[in-house]
Amino acid sequence: MDSVRPSIPSIPILTIFEKMKRLINMLFICGAIVVLQACGGGSDTPAPDNNQGNNQENNQENNQGNGNEETPDVVDEIGYDVASIMNAFWTKTSYTKRDEKRLLAMERMQAFADLCENTEFKKYYACTEAQEAVMEEGSILLFHSKAVEKVLEEIQKQEVETGHIVMWQVYNMGYVIKTPTHTFGIDLKHKHAARFAPYIDFLLITHAHEDHYTTALTEAMMQSGKPVYSNFVENDYKITEGKTINIVDDIIVETAIVDHNKTDLKNFVVTYRIDCGANTNHCIVYHVGDACDESQLTPTQPINIFIPHLANNLNMPQAVMNIKPDVVLLSHILEMDHPTTKWRWSYEYGVKCCKELEEDGTLKYEKAYLPVWGEKITY
Ligand SMILES: [Zn+2]
């Protein structure tokens, strides 16, 4: 029995108002957890695959007939504090399985994310190392920070077999991709992103919005003489038009310039169709940043992994139908630089997007995934 009692994290150096806000939210989380437990939400019973939206009702029905109501301490594998939720994501759930455990972890991560306004997130990015630990305590910021530690550790250890790639979601639309011979990054935004510089061979940036790049990483890469491709960094690799670039060995990138918005920010985003090379069996990753118009997404060859913004006006069923990827990694979830009430899309919204793809009559696409910070993806 590894159940952790719900507790209110100790939060030094916070205003009374912030403390009250966190307390109310924690009580809300605990209340929700009690309700979920009463409904069997923490049990080991796997959810029916085709009915993920109705877990609570199903469990209620199941519990009525099984004479098992007296289990007061249902084993809860997710936990209630940020560290437990984060570890549960990484060790007890998978992006490939949107089961009850995964949904519960998402719900709890969301509750902590809702406690962290973008003003606090910005303060965290500006704070010193000593203040960081204080701000991370009992906060989603701990998850944000540990994700980088995890990815840094794993990219160094990870052996990638011939014919495959391994990738990690770091944050927002930021990914690190490792092939049997090379490692590179796309749209890496993080307070500590510069720490990736020694381990990646090149960096791709889709556009000049701060949730898609980190100046310190760009500078560190350039100081080490490593390529940074973008449409705004002034260097030898600046992209001003759609073209094909042989980056290193047989890693070949096809770029296109597309719109960020339908009315303004025209030609603002570079999309990257990356052929990861012969030793990955030419695995093709198509990262389109904040592209907003599916008619502009016209890669010349088949795509294995499609990485779009899940909510920037793309008609996702149409985009997926056009591109026909093996896998979609819906990204741009919980972008903490945006206020909790605006443009910070939730995992709940991500689940809705996945279901729309699954239920679209013409498509029935079941390989849309919602990776979380620090999570490893193998292909
Ligand atoms: Zn963005």
CATH (domain of 263): 3.60.15.10
What pLDDT is attached to residue 66?
38
Q: Say yes or no: 167 and 89 in one domain.
A: no
Question: Is residue 214 one of the residues assigned to a domain?
Answer: yes
Q: At 115, list the tokens.
A: 């406690």
Mean pLDDT, rounded, of the chain? 85
> Both 24 and 93 in a single domain?
yes
Buried b (16+ CB within 10 A) or exposed e, 82-116: bebbbbbbbeebbbeebbbbbbbbbbbbbbbbbbb
Specify whether 170 is located in the same domain as 303: yes
Is 65 among the domain residues? yes
Is 107 in the same domain as 164? no
Report the pLDDT value the prediction gives residue 24, as an integer from 0 to 100: 54
| Distance between CA atoms of residues 116 and 18, nearest Å | 10
- The rounded Å distance from CA 287 to ligand 1 centre is 12
Q: Which residues surround ligand 1, an ion (CB under 5 A)?
A: 211, 290
Distance between Cα 271 and ligand 1 center (Å): 13
Q: What is the pLDDT of residue 362?
A: 83
Structure tokens at 314: 């793309």
Q: What is the pLDDT of residue 20?
A: 52
Note the helical H segments in the chain. 16-38, 55-65, 82-92, 100-114, 118-126, 129-136, 140-157, 215-223, 316-323, 347-359
pLDDT tens-digit readout, 280-318: 999 999 999 999 999 999 988 899 999 999 999 999 999
Structural domain of residue 110, as residue ranges? Answer: 16-114
Query: What is the pLDDT, as a whole number, of residue 363?
Result: 86
pLDDT value, residue 361? 82
What pLDDT, on the 0 to 100 scale, is given for residue 26?
52
d(CA 231, CA 207): 7
| 9 is a domain residue | no
C-alpha 152 to ligand 1 mean position (Å): 23
The gap from C-alpha 130 to its chain's centroid, in whole angstroms, comes to: 27
**Is 231 within 8 Å of 259 (Cβ atoms)?**
no
Residue with tokens 């985009």: 319
| Count of structural domains, the chain | 2
Write down which residue in 83, 114, 145 finishes a domain: 114
Do 30 and 96 lie in one domain? The reply is yes
Question: What's the CA-to-centroid distance between 329 and ligand 1, angstroms?
Answer: 15
Instruction: Indicate if 109 and 164 belong to the same structural domain.
Output: no
Of 312, 314, 313, 309, the closest CA to residue 331 belongs to 309
Q: Is residue 56 part of a domain?
A: yes
d(CA 263, CA 125): 31
Ligand 1: centre distance to CA 21 (Å): 28
Strand order of the β-sheet with 166-171 is: 228-229, 202-204, 183-186, 174-178, 166-171, 376-378
Residue 203: phi, psi to the nearest 5? -130, 135
Could you tell me if residue 2 is inside a domain?
no
- Give the chain's residues under pLDDT 70: 1-75
Q: Is residue 123 part of a domain?
A: no
Of 58, 90, 114, which residue constitutes the final position of a domain? 114
> 221 and 303, same structural domain?
yes
Q: Are residues 212 and 293 in the same domain?
A: yes
- 107 shares a domain with 171: no
Q: How far is the CA of 353 from the centre of ligand 1 (A)?
A: 17
Q: What are phi and psi of 170, to 5 degrees?
A: -95, -55
Q: Which of 60, 81, 114 is the last residue of a domain?
A: 114
333: CA distance to ligand 1 center in Å?
A: 10
Contact in structure between 12 and 134 (CB atoms under 8 Å): yes
Calculate how far, in angstroms, residue 209's C-alpha sits from the geometric centre of ligand 1.
Answer: 6
User: Quick one: pLDDT at residue 67?
Assistant: 37
Angle subtended at Cα 107 by Cα 82 and Cα 91, rounded to the nearest 5 degrees: 55
222 & 343 share domain: yes
Q: Which residues contact 244 (CB under 8 A, 6 or more apart)?
A: 252, 253, 254, 255
CA of 314 from ligand 1 middle (Å) equals: 13
Does the residue 285 lie in any domain? yes
Q: Does residue 270 share a domain with residue 353?
A: yes
Query: Ligand 1 centroid vs 86 CA: distance in angstroms?
Result: 23
Residue 322 lies in a domain: yes
